Amino acid sequence: MTIKIKDILLTALFISTFFVHSDLSAAEWSGVVSGEGRYFFEEGDFGQDQEEFSVAIEPEFFHRWEDSDWSFVFKPFLRWDSLDDERTHADIRELMVRYVGDQWELKAGMSKVFWGVAESQHLVDIINQTDFVENIDGEDKLGQQMIVLSTEQDFGLLELFLLPGSRERTFAGEEGRFRFPLTLDDDNPIYADEDGKQRLDGAIRWSQWVGDWDIGLSHFSGTSREPLFVVDSSNPLQPQLRPLYVTIDQTSLDVQATKGAWLWKLEAMSRSGFNEDRYWAAVGGFEYTFFGVTESGADLGMILEYQHDSRETLPGGYQQQDVGVLGFRLAMNDIPSTEALFALSYANGQSFMNLEASRRLGDDWKMILEARLFSVDEEEGPTASLLYPFRNDDYVSLTFERYF
């Protein structure tokens, strides 16, 4: 499902008209407007510019009917980008009606759901599609159509998901950074299921706190959010890549144990559908926090995680390589909420460095600094590492957000 900017505007106009005669005593408008500047240290493989600027807006409308268990939320998102037409895009992050009863909760519409505990990779997070043009870290997600029925009992929280249709992953355009070597024909994806992206998917999840342990067990059956790629050589002079979305079954476990200054984390999943054999993958590790490392009361956390995949060869012909991750999280615990996260991922000579830092400026503004560096052994060739296409995309970015 492709959402255009005009669709967002028409939806916002409809919602504003619908509620104009309603009792708005419990209605709230809020949101954030941001401006982002990126600088890439090198010209792209295909001559892409080194400078990029974009602006984005994500307003949120929330309404709860007075003396009622019903509420409504609408959160659209729009971005304009100076470099990449594909990054100039719009989406409905949330458009959800919610009913909260004594023991059951019902939600219907478009929304976002997050599962997982690990820092470096979210293996079990399967409901929403990744908005890859927003950020390559996989944290930004597209809104997903869903009906969710949940209940919290003595045995834990049980959630049932009905997912009518799936979303296609967003990718950089020909003029954008983080693009593939071949042109991507994402307007004509291939689906393994005959119902295509209209296939009815489903999921179930149980979660519970048991002492110091936070445990989640989930199962998903439906269209994979992670596409494969096939080469379309119908035009031999200009071959293209077409995304292929297969049907999968995924069973997953996520566990986090809080033991004083220690956080122990594990995400593991078993999946079928990507090849003839079922495979499994896991990411686990710990985070230890040193409290009060400065006179002002700053906390420093050390993160160590390890990633493994049971397959010998990954899709695309890449050799599976275990990944080790070392990171540090600094929280200054000051009034401006100054925070920083640094992480280094390493696998067989290939590395990825990530820095994220933020600080509030007054009551309404926030500044975010981000830097990402890729190190790839180019002599090994394009199939040596998944990072190879991004070897010249090292960048630093500065974002200013204004909340209202």
Q: Which domains does the chain have, with CATH numbers?
A: 5-403 (2.40.160.10)
User: Looking at the predicted structure, is the pLDDT value of residue 379 above 80?
Assistant: no
Alpha carbon distance 176, 49 (integer Å): 8
Distance CA 218, CA 249 (A): 11
pLDDT at 312: 86
Q: What are phi and psi of 394, to 5 degrees?
A: -60, 135
Q: Taking Cα atoms as reference points, which of 279, 274, 280, 299 lies closest to residue 289?
A: 299
Q: Give the number of other CB atoms < 10 A from CB of residue 379.
A: 6
pLDDT, the chain, mean: 91
Residue 22 has pLDDT above 60, yes or no: no
Of 359, 151, 341, 163, the residue nearest 248 (C-alpha): 163
* pLDDT (0 to 100) of residue 123: 95
Binning pLDDT at 50, 70 and 90, where does residue 377 land? confident
Sign of CA dihedral 290, 291, 296, 298: positive
Between CA 46 and CA 396 the distance in angstroms is 20
DSSP 8-state secondary structure symbol assigned to residue 363: T
DSSP, res 118: -
Q: Which two tokens stand for residue 75?
A: 């959160």
Give the pLDDT band of residue 26 (cuts 50, 70, 90).
low
Contact 198, 103 (CB under 8 A): no
Distance, CA of 389 to CA of 159 (rounded, Å):
39
Please give the Cα distance from 330 to 298 (Å, whole number): 7
| Confidence at 66, pLDDT banded by 50, 70, 90 | confident
Confidence band for 200, pLDDT divided at 50, 70 and 90:
very high
Classify residue 294 by burial, with Cβ atoms within 10 Å: 0-12, 13-18, 19+.
exposed
Per-residue pLDDT band at 8 (split at 50, 70, 90): low
Q: Which helix (H) or strand (E) holds 17?
A: helix 5-19
Residue 61 above 90 pLDDT? yes
More confident residue, 122 or 320: 122
Percentage of the chain modeled with pLDDT above 90: 78
Q: Where are the beta strands (DSSP E) in 88-134?
A: 89-100, 104-111
| Beta bridge partner(s), residue 308 | 282
